[in-house]
Amino acid sequence: MMVSHSLKTLRQSWPPYAGAAVALAGGIALVTLATNMLGALGTVSDGLDQQTRSQIDDLGSLFGIMAGISLFLALFVVSSTFGFVVATRRRELGLLRLLGATPRQVRTLLLGEAVAVAAVGTVAGCLLGTAVTVPVLHVLHRAGVTPVLLTMPGQGAGWAIAASCGVGVALVGAWRAGARAGRTQPVEALRDAVLERRRPTVVQGLVALTAAAALIATAWFAPGMPLLFALLVGMFLPIVAVIGANAVGGLLYTELAAVAGAAMARRDPAAHLARDLARTSGRMTSAVAAPVVAIMAVAGSMVLAVGATADWSEGADRSALHSELVVEAAHPERIRDVPGVEVSDVRRTARVGFWDGPTEVEVVDVADAAATRSLQATRGSLADLHGRAVAVTASYVTDLGGRIGQTRRMRIGDRPVEVRLVAVVPDAPNLWADVIVPDDLPGIGKVARDTGTVFVRTDAGADVAVTARSIRDTGAQVSTAAAWVGTVSAEARATNTVVLWVMLGPAGVYAAIAAVNAVLIGMSQRRRQTATARLLGATPAQVRRTTLWETVFTGAGALLVGGAIAAFTGWLVRQAVVRDVPDAPLTVPWQALSGITAACLVVLLAAAVAGAYALRGGEAPD
């Protein structure tokens, strides 16, 4: 019976749910797209070189993170929507309680509406995600993001995962609202007004304190935190901080909005009224601020973390690379015979079976790599890296484990070879792979291939410029070591920028939907307030200006909170970078951060326009 009533009430009051359904559909579309991408990646894993496989793996991670952020924001939209719905329907819910409905039946009513929203959003999202998969694959390939054209996989797994996510997000988002609806008292049917509670509940206070404790503990341990762990913490800590801030949003965001509007409130009566409304309307203020805080904190943290990683990689390359020249040659074996060349370290890789499956390994002449790339051991000894031996990077040990002296089986072609771990080396992603084998490992010469990159160290008395010209005469491309590191770093930063913009776009859309939805529902609650203001002499322009100022003050507080969270994450990762590479450069991605701020301002502008549009025509007194 209550399920049937849920469908009836949903048909009668569908506008508040439209934003939730749209946001949920978008999130599910991205989940479907991400699943399809991952399925497509699995069909082309064989026969690819290390760089191509690395690009494809990174792309899969990108789409997974993008879908996670979208679902995170969709959860905000759904939960805020249902919270507003409970507030606007308090008299209806009170009447149901007056007629004998139990708290459980009221909760069932809200959950039934959530399931209906989930069904609509999930089906629409799955269809949309499937429809855009093939065009997205072609666009990514033409833009050079994917080195090979991926094909559409089967849809069974993608739809199953997306449907589970859709129902889960909707039910989680509606759970808190349903609990609050179940506590509605019958007397609510007789009340004409209600004061919103700004003071956090005990549970909300505990959530906020837990988040604050996590931030304090992270700051305490930051100076000794390894880079990989700092990056992992940097991915999840902003979400924890956002959850903690939103738990006390009714108090935090309203007070910040009041502070932000203090100066303007003394100059404009509309701004004064807007400041008071932002301070007393905790639910609407929190609902508008929450998505802005989320996008600023999460996206800003990712931008700073990725930028810090690029700084670390550039610093590690510059400190390790001891060759004067880096050559890209079709015939790298000829470089050794060029006059003035003392060491010609040809970079070679091979695909073998090792430890966790097919692995791209670096094949090195240990003496040459030590001379040009400063290959050295932090544990064990490179003197033992010959014959049936292997070395791995520190991050590889962190991810998969391993200890010096441990023996593992490596499959080279069709031949299994027992190799012993003899050394752990520092990470330098652009100089060597995570697994390093000597060039005299039995059978490795048959599967090794040149990458075309040669690290050249010149003779002590040779003129580097003359040697470079001689190498160019062979048809090779020559760069100085500093220029090569700069080019590689610039390419990595450019790729990171594209990736982050791809992730930022959907997040901005969902944030805009959430803010607009909150303002529209909030305006529907203020019809009597607006009419009273008009009776007291306020013009339609003043009423609309009040709405605009309220959004501005709320947005200022939200940007402050989100920016503080992002800055903390950037500081955290930077501590780990300089601990690992003291001479790492400091590059602040101002362009990306400005883009995120602009996206947040667009979200707030959309909310302000929506509020003004809701008050169009003037609320003339009857």
Give the pLDDT confidence of 79-123 residue by residue, as tens digits: 776 766 666 667 777 777 777 777 777 777 777 877 888 888 888
Q: Do 297 and 238 contact (CB within 8 A), yes or no?
A: yes
Query: Across-strand partners of 457?
Result: 343
Q: Quote the percentage of the chain above a pLDDT of 90.
A: 11
Non-local CB neighbours of 209 within 8 Å, separated by 6+ positions? none
Give the pLDDT confidence score for residue 211 in this predicted structure. 92
Give the pLDDT confidence score for residue 185 in this predicted structure. 65
Residue 137 or 9, more confident:
137
Give the pLDDT confidence score for residue 569 in this predicted structure. 92
Domain ranges of the chain: 1-194, 201-324+486-622, 330-475
pLDDT tens figures, 110-167: 778 778 888 888 888 888 888 888 887 777 677 666 666 777 777 777 788 878 877 7
Pairing of the two strands 449-458 and 341-354: antiparallel
Give mean pLDDT, residues 536-562: 84
| Phi, psi torsion values for 423, nearest 5 degrees | -160, 150
Residue 566 or 290, more confident:
566
Give the pLDDT confidence score for residue 316 in this predicted structure. 85
Q: How far apart are CA 277 and CA 548, in angstroms?
A: 12
Statement: residue 445 has pLDDT above 50 = yes
Q: Do 341 and 459 contact (CB within 8 A), yes or no?
A: yes
Residue 105 or 404, more confident:
404
Other beta carbons within 10 angstroms of residue 95's beta carbon come to 16
Give the pLDDT confidence score for residue 217 in this predicted structure. 92
Residue owning tokens 């997000």: 169
pLDDT tens figures, 178-229: 676 666 666 555 555 555 566 777 888 899 999 999 999 999 988 888 887 8
Residue 31 or 237, more confident:
237
Pairing of the two strands 389-393 and 477-480: unpaired
| Interior angle at CA 461, CA 456 and CA 466, nearest 5 | 60
Q: Do 30 and 67 contact (CB within 8 A), yes or no?
A: yes
614 pLDDT tier (thresholds 50, 70, 90): low
Q: How far apart are CA 161 and CA 157, in angstroms?
A: 6
Give the pLDDT confidence score for residue 213 in this predicted structure. 93
Statement: residue 401 has pLDDT above 80 = no
Give the pLDDT confidence score for residue 87 in this predicted structure. 67
Give mean pLDDT, residues 231-241: 86
Statement: residue 594 has pLDDT above 70 = yes
Q: Do 511 and 603 contact (CB within 8 A), yes or no?
A: yes
pLDDT tens figures, 12-39: 666 667 767 777 777 777 778 777 777 7
333 pLDDT tier (thresholds 50, 70, 90): confident
Statement: residue 49 has pLDDT above 70 = no
pLDDT tens figures, 246-271: 888 888 988 999 898 888 888 888 88
Give the amino acid at 547: T
Q: How far apart are CA 193 and CA 354, in angstroms?
A: 69
Q: How far apart are CA 18 and CA 419, in angstroms?
A: 60
Q: Do 529 and 592 contact (CB within 8 A), yes or no?
A: no
Nearest to 500 by CA among 315, 312, 310: 310
Pairing of the two strands 407-412 and 415-425: antiparallel
pLDDT tens figures, 282-322: 777 887 888 888 888 888 888 888 888 888 888 888 888 88
Residue 55 or 343, more confident:
343
620 pLDDT tier (thresholds 50, 70, 90): very low
pLDDT tens figures, 456-506: 998 887 888 888 888 888 888 989 988 998 888 888 787 777 766 766 666
Statement: residue 438 has pLDDT above 90 = yes
Q: Do 34 and 64 contact (CB within 8 A), yes or no?
A: yes
Q: What is the pLDDT of the chain when averaged over all its residues?
A: 79
Give the pLDDT confidence score for residue 125 in this predicted structure. 83
Statement: residue 622 has pLDDT above 50 = no
The half-sphere exposure of 361 on its side-chain side, counting CA atoms within 13 A, is 29
437 pLDDT tier (thresholds 50, 70, 90): very high
Residue 238 or 501, more confident:
238
556's tokens: 């200022």
